[in-house]
Amino acid sequence: MAYDYQAVHALDGTIGAVPGQRANHLAVHRATAIAVVLAAPGHGAEAAGILVADGAFEARFCGPGEWLVLSEVHAPETLVAELSVRLGAFAFVVDQSHGRVALTLSGPDAARILANGIAVDLHPGAFAVGRAATMLCNHLSVNLARTGVDRFDLVVMRSFAEAFVADLKVMARSHDLSVDFATR
C-alpha cells in the first residue's frame, strides 16, 4: 500500500507569530537543507578543508571533527549527496533537514536577548562574526552561529523548536521582537 507523506514544519500552527518587522526579528526558516558531517578518524583536517573551500556549504562547528552544514544553494533532498560526493571517505554525512529547525535572530538587541539565556560571552571581541558553537540556552542545547555583529543563526532539534521559540520570546520580553516564518 502506498502512502503520501507530507512535510510539516515543526512550528506550523504553533509559532505564535508576533507580526510586523520590529527592531529585532526572529525569522524561522521553512525549508533549510541541514546535514551533520562527522570526519572519519584522523581526517578532520581534510574534511574541514573541503567544507571551507565550497561556498555552497555553511559549516558550523559542533565539536572536534563535527559540523552542522547548512546550505541555501542545495535542496534538502540533494544536500547529503552533494556532500558525500565531495567528502568521499573523509567523513560520514547524515541528513538533518527535517530533524532540526533553523532560525535567524537579528537586530540591535540580538546579543542582549541571547544573553538572557546563554552564559557564553557574546561580545563581538569574544565571539566574533563567523564563529559557531553548540551551547546551552536555558535548558536546551542549540548551535549558535554569529553571521553578523547583530545577526545570529540558531539551529535546534526539531522537537525542541516550539519550546525554544517560547523561551526566546520570554528572553526578549524587555526588547522589541517580532517573530514569523522567513519569507524566502
Q: By CB under 8 A, name the binding residues for other proteins.
A: 39, 41-44, 62-66, 119-121, 133-136, 141
Distance in Å, CB of 60 to other proteins, minimum? 12
Distance in Å, CB of 175 to other proteins, minimum? 23
What residues pair up with 105 in beta bridges, in sequence order? 26, 152
Alpha-carbon span 51 to 182, nearest angstrom: 26
Helices (H), 15-68: 44-53
Selection from 156, 126, 139 nearest residue 60 by Cα: 156
Alpha-carbon span 179 to 172, nearest angstrom: 11
Task: Please identify, using beta-carbon distances, which residue of 53 and 126 lies nearer to other proteins.
Answer: 126
Task: Please identify, using beta-carbon distances, which residue of 21 and 141 lies nearer to other proteins.
Answer: 141
Distance in Å, CB of 153 to other proteins, minimum? 17
Task: Please identify, using beta-carbon distances, which residue of 33 and 137 lies nearer to other proteins.
Answer: 137
Please report, as a single letter, which amino acid is at residue 170: V
Task: Please identify, using beta-carbon distances, which residue of 13 and 63 lies nearer to other proteins.
Answer: 63
Distance in Å, CB of 152 to other proteins, minimum? 16
What residues pair up with 36 in beta bridges, in sequence order? 68, 94
Distance in Å, CB of 39 to other proteins, minimum? 6
Check residue 17 and report its DSSP letter.
-
Question: Are the CB atoms for 68 and 47 separated by under 8 Å?
Answer: no
Alpha-carbon span 84 to 98, nearest angstrom: 18
Distance in Å, CB of 77 to other proteins, minimum? 28
Task: Please identify, using beta-carbon distances, which residue of 19 and 64 lies nearer to other proteins.
Answer: 64
Q: Dihedral sign for Cα 184, 68, 92, 9, please.
A: negative
Task: Please identify, using beta-carbon distances, which residue of 101 and 177 lies nearer to other proteins.
Answer: 101
Please report, as a single letter, which amino acid is at residue 10: A
